[in-house]
Chain A
Amino acid sequence: MAIRALINLAQAGEAALIVAAQARDQAAFGELVKRRQGWARALLRRMCSNAAEADDLAQEAFIKAWDRLRDLETPAAFPGWFRRIAVTTFLMAKRRQKAVFAEIDDASPIASEDSTPEAAAGAKIDLERALARLSDAERLCVTLNHGEGLSHSEIVEMTGLPLGTVKSHVLRGTEKLRRMLEAA
């Protein structure tokens, strides 16, 4: 609370919010959630392809983050630290569900429905729909690699999957996305 008295939550930098939250300031943590929820939920929605489940997992990840905030060594490490919690939460949920890593074969186009020829020139794919057609493992690896900018070895460390498997999922997932886009 002493730290809280020194900061204005709305104007505080993320580092200050994290330090205050580490001192068990719930309001500071609430502000942190408010600022990071868009990124966290988008990340989990891409991994899950189910918005409601993704939001539940995002909530679970934030609550775990609150419980473990004292383990965070520096505020600057928060994004990577939280991403790891989110991925672990996702993987645990998949294990609980005994997820079948099924291939999804859907030939409908994945280009944005409102895309025009002009927009197509600066091509932009309907990412959510395209990712939804990948298997869980491919979606996870493609999201972490292309979306979060993690290297293969970082994905290995985060997910516990073998390096060859990660490379294969990224390659196949990317190739599938390319084929789906070309088919569109």
Chain B
Amino acid sequence: MSDFDTLLKRSFAEAHEPADDGFAAHVSHVVARNERGAQVRNAVQSCAFAVAGAVVLYAFYGMALQFGPDFLASVGFGVARARSTVGEPAMDMWRTANAVLPQILLVTGALVGGAVAYRATQE
């Protein structure tokens, strides 16, 4: 290594380093702001997943209502025949279940979608 290379390396080693002048504080501020932004994005993403999950479940429920009786009939289990074989209390329960099922599915979908989204954001 030549004398000049040695001189150059020493000059690099001894060169002035800039003082902080709030640089670190500024970087910390930007990092904190970005983190807050990321948290908001995660929350929005979770909500979006939850709504999407609920919509998908509700769509499946609608399809089941539409095509379920035909399908059951095709496999030899007519809904009317089933109704005739069950008693009045059972029919009440069936009607109640029909009325609350969309809400149950919506809540379940929201919970499952939220849980999945939360898990995804933690990984």
Within 8 A of B (CB), among A138-184: 142-143, 146-147, 149, 174, 177-178, 181
Cβ contacts B24-56/A at 8 Å (1 or 0 each): 111110111011000000000000000000000
The answer to whether B10 touches A30, judged by C-beta atoms less than 8 angstroms apart, is: no
Residues on A with beta carbons closer than 8 Å to the beta carbon of B100: none
Q: Which of A4-61 contact B (CB under 8 A)?
A: 24, 26-27, 29-30, 33-34, 37-39, 41-42, 45-46, 51, 55, 58-59
Of A72-80, A83-91, A97-105, A121-129, the one touching chain B:
A121-129
The A-B contact count (CB < 8 A) is 86
How many residues belonging to B are interface residues under a CB distance threshold of 8 Å? 26
User: When chains A and B are docked, how far (Å) is the Cα of A14 from the Cα of B98?
Assistant: 62
Does B17 interact with chain A (Cβ within 8 Å)? yes
Given that A30-B24, A34-B24, A59-B23 are contacting pairs, would A42 and B15 also be in contact in the complex, using a CB cutoff of 8 Å? Answer: yes
CA gap between A41 and B15 in the complex, in Å: 12
Which of B1-9, B67-75, B78-86 lies on the face that meets chain A?
B1-9
Known contacts A26-B32, A39-B17, A41-B17; is A127 also within 8 Å of B11 by CB? yes
Cα(A179)–Cα(B24), bound, Å: 38
B35 proximity list for chain A (CB < 8 A): 24, 26
Evaluate contact between A66 and B4: CB separation under 8 angstroms. no
Secondary structure dominating the interface of A = helix
Which residue from chain B places its CB closest to the CB of A148 in the assembled complex?
Answer: B12
Output the nearest chain B residue to A27 by Cβ-Cβ distance.
Answer: B28
Q: Are A38 and B17 in contact (CB under 8 A)?
A: yes
Contact call B28/A125, Cβ cutoff below 8 A: no
Known: A45-B18, A125-B7, A127-B12. A58 touches B28 (CB 8 A): no
Whether B11 lies near A63 (C-beta < 8 A) is no
Interface size class of A (residues with CB under 8 A): 35 or more
Q: How far is the CA of A73 from the CA of B10 in the complex (A)?
A: 31
Bound-complex Cα distance A174 to B9 (A): 11
21 A–B contact pairs at CB < 8 A?
A: A26-B35, A29-B31, A30-B25, A37-B18, A37-B20, A37-B23, A37-B24, A37-B27, A41-B23, A42-B17, A45-B18, A51-B18, A63-B34, A124-B14, A125-B8, A127-B12, A127-B15, A128-B16, A147-B15, A177-B8, A181-B4
Residue ranges of A at the interface with B (Cβ–Cβ < 8 Å): 24, 26-27, 29-30, 33-34, 37-39, 41-42, 45-46, 51, 55, 58-59, 62-63, 66-67, 123-125, 127-128, 142-143, 146-147, 149, 174, 177-178, 181
Contacts A38-B17, A174-B5 supplied; 8 other A-B pairs, CB < 8 Å: A26-B28, A29-B28, A41-B23, A46-B12, A124-B10, A125-B11, A127-B12, A174-B8
